Amino acid sequence: MKLHQITSYLEQVAPLSFQESYDNSGLIVGDRNKKVTKVLLCLDSIESVIDEAIEKGCELVIAHHPIVFNGLKSLTGKNYIEKTILKAIKNDIAIYACHTNLDNVLKNGVNQKMANAIGLTNTKILAPKIDIMSKLVIYCKPDNADAVRNNLFENGAGNISEYSNCSFNTEGKGTYLPSENSNPSYGEKGELSTEDEIKIEVLAVNHQINKLLVEVKKAHSYEEVAHEIIPITNANQQIGSGMIGELEKEIDTLEFLKSLKTKMKTDCVRHTNIQKKTVKKIAICGGSGSFLLNNAISQKADVFITGDYKYHQFFDAQNQLIIADIGHFESEQFTIDLFHDILAPEFNRVEFIKTTITTNPVNYL
């Protein structure tokens, strides 16, 4: 199996275009055409994890966090990042990161895995992304419309939240004048043609557009596919930061916080004052999620669970909800299982190994 076959599949689940601007997801070290038989899955691809990959004969390490966030100006081994990269290169081990792009998908994402562990139902994205979709408009003959629409749907267009195969269709007249170098499906070279046409409009995520235009040409009866790409600012309810959902029933607040400690396998839950006796609506964000506090408040969450909260940030709760900081590593620890769930069923000739190294740099006494 080639490395790019594995990473390309992962990017179908979590496209690189979904990552945040500060992120560095993707192939960090290695040859995309490298043959891979064993893959080590981890949260952090630090030096001890590379040692484990060497010991277990893994050619690829897939991590949640990129080992390189900023540009490297030298590789002398002066810090843990450079030491890790040097060791990976010397031992021909590739490193791939799948970070905020995996955080930002509703299905098969980091936050959904966290929600499952806590026991949340009716989950949805807490802060849906905007400016990542376009309206794709295709013009075709009426007798070709079904084939064109179905082609668009089959290749990922026309999805709105929980609805698929969504389109808007308008009848009209199209005109064109074929040149002498054309090969018109209808009409004659050098003669103006007027044809009955259907205008098909669908929504598509931006990274899909090029593929859609290539694929729809196979179903289209015209030599040239007349189309428009119109950027839109609609929020995509399937892509974005954080998640919000509900417990099956209202439970005692202290009981919930104690269960959270157990379910998330953490030694500490730092939280703000308990303002109400029971809780049901829960907002979450794996990693560092303080930027989503106002979203959690506006959607009337009882508790907001995340990591990396600083002292003064806890005051921002303003007694409107409970902030529960369970730790960065703890909130994302199930990502290793998530990688395995996504990849193992798809590539049965590759062995996917979960790291045995605990990479959490924070210890509790």
Report pLDDT digits (tens) over 174-215: 999 999 999 999 999 999 999 999 999 999 999 999 999 999
pLDDT of residue 134: 97
Best CA proximity match to 329, nearest among 22, 116, 24, 43 = 43
Question: Rounded to an integer, what distance in angstroms lies between the CA atom of residue 260 and that of residue 114?
Answer: 11
Return the residue matching tokens 């001890």: 48
Cα angle at 144 between 139 and 149, to 5 degrees?
70
pTM for the model stands at 0.91
Rounded to whole angstroms, how far apart are CA atoms 304 and 243? 10
Q: Can you give the pLDDT at residue 332?
A: 97
167 Cβ contact list (under 8 Å, min separation 6):
149, 152, 153, 158, 200, 201, 202
**For 321-365, how does the pLDDT look when each residue is reduced to its tens digit (9 = 90+)?**
999 999 999 999 999 999 999 999 999 999 999 999 999 999 998
Average pLDDT for runs of 10 along the chain of length 365: 97 95 96 98 98 98 96 93 98 98 93 97 95 96 98 96 95 96 93 96 96 97 96 94 97 97 95 95 97 98 98 97 98 97 97 97 92
Q: For the chain, list the domains and their CATH numbers.
A: 3-99+334-354 (3.40.1390.30), 110-127+240-326 (3.40.1390.30), 131-234 (3.30.70.120)
State CA 84 to chain mean position distance: 26
Question: Which pLDDT belongs to residue 78?
Answer: 95
Three-state SS string over the chain comes to: CEHHHHHHHHHHHCCHHHCCCCCCCEEEECCCCCECCEEEEEEECCHHHHHHHHHHCCCEEEEEECCCCCCCCCCCCCCHHHHHHHHHHHCCCEEEECCHHHHCECCCCHHHHHHHHHCCEEEEEEEEECCCEEEEEEEECHHHHHHHHHHHHHCCCCCECCECCCCEEEEEEEEECCCCCCCCCCCCCCCCEEEEEEEEEEEEEHHHHHHHHHHHHHHCCCCCCCEEEEEECCCEEEEEEEEEEEEEEEEEHHHHHHHHHHHCCCCCCEECCCCCCEEEEEEEEEEECHHHHHHHHHCCCCEEEEECCCHHHHHHHCCCCEEEECCHHHHHCCHHHHHHHHHCCCCCCCEEEECCCCCCCCCCC
Both tokens of residue 319? 């007694």
CB count within 10 Å of CB 272 equals 20
Q: Quote the pLDDT of residue 108.
A: 85
